[in-house]
Chains A and B, each alone.
Chain A
């Protein structure tokens, strides 16, 4: 009798643990919190794209020329497929200077990550810009 009772208790204990872990596993799949590592990697992608773009002063020169279309096209190439972006260029006084939107799709309603990048132009009259790049996965 004692043996059977003990076995049943052990079985019950295991069952309880299984139920708890099952609940934990199920709750982990709920999108209750943003996936931080995914968001961080997106931020890293954005920073690296901006650095590649600015490595020879190209980004700074395009900002000086106010060539927003080429900036948008270049970011389209530099960022992986499936990433939406919206870029805003500010001067030293934090006034936005791009008079047209630099974005591939609308980010409204999406979970975005923001990257800030300080850009110095590489010409004889050095100017400074602050670039804010908002990114989101499209799927």
Chain B
């Protein structure tokens, strides 16, 4: 009888030991989970930083394209990105922060820039750069690659109808696009060719410009160009200060 009691108390002791062990393990698991949350928040902070870098890189490319399209030097993009890369590299003192960039040289781009202001009714100002960011210290190594492509496109169509022997009414439909999406223009200037010079239509030409609020504009004016065709050029500055122009020859309605 005594031996049986001893066996029972031993079992209870074992159960108690298991309970204590499970309590200790659950406490350990809790500490581990808390540690995981801290690592996740660290990762979020890094993601936030990289998002900030992407945004900054985009601003640099937009600003550089605005400069180049408005007559600035073609190496503006390179020099601005060099400066940007250097500043980003100085931001992390506990390790290495390196931002490398390469400019797109695949046709139609050259040194990251594509400017095509032809006579087909389409005008393009574009910049394209690839970025590779690497952050490394004793605890973490992070690599992020991304690209920035900034493109302003202007599409124009022009038609005219003869009002009288000496007068034609010209209608120009203008579509402004940013990255292939409709975008608003900051400034639109329409020119038409008269003899050897380009003229800007004004009140004397009954000039009007309708804004449809969705990136579509219709310019209308009356001209006394005697030739059968009317050449039109539209100069657009978008909301990002990027300049683009498109040229086309009007066709009769």
Contacts and interface: CB of A to CB of B under 8 A. Distances in A.
Interface of A: 2-3, 6-7, 9-10, 13-14, 17, 21, 24, 36-37, 40-41, 43-44, 47-48, 50-51, 54-55, 57, 60, 92, 116-126, 128, 130
B72 A40 contact: no
Contact of B12 (A10, A40, A41, A116): A10
Contact of A13 (B2, B6, B16, B241): B16
B59 A117 contact: no
A20 B49 CA distance: 42
A124 B23 CA distance: 64
Given A13-B16, A36-B41, A57-B62, 5 more contacts: A118-B88, A118-B91, A122-B62, A124-B70, A126-B60
A78 B107 CA distance: 42
A60 B20 contact: no
Interface string B35-75: 00110011011001101110111011011101100101000
Contact of B84 (A9, A55, A128): A128
B12 A6 contact: yes
Interface of B is mostly: helix
Given A3-B9, A124-B63, A117 B38 contact: no
Contacts, number: 107
B52 A47 contact: yes
A37 B48 contact: no
B130 interface: no
A-B complex: 6 closest residue pairs judged by Cβ atoms: A6-B9, A40-B41, A126-B63, A124-B67, A47-B48, A124-B66
A116 B48 CA distance: 11
Interface residues of B, number: 42
A17 B17 CA distance: 11
Given A2-B2, A14-B16, A92 B70 contact: no
B138 interface: no
7 contacts: A10-B12, A13-B20, A40-B41, A43-B45, A55-B55, A118-B88, A123-B66
A14 B38 CA distance: 32
B63 A37 contact: no
B43 to A, nearest CB: 10
Contacts of B5: 2-3
A106 to B, nearest CB: 26
B54 to A, nearest CB: 9
A121 B55 contact: no
A119 B87 CA distance: 10
B2 to A, nearest CB: 7
Contacts of A40: 38, 41-42, 44-45
A17 B23 contact: yes
Contacts of A124: 63, 66-67, 70, 72, 241
A123 B241 contact: yes
A78 to B, nearest CB: 14
A80 to B, nearest CB: 16
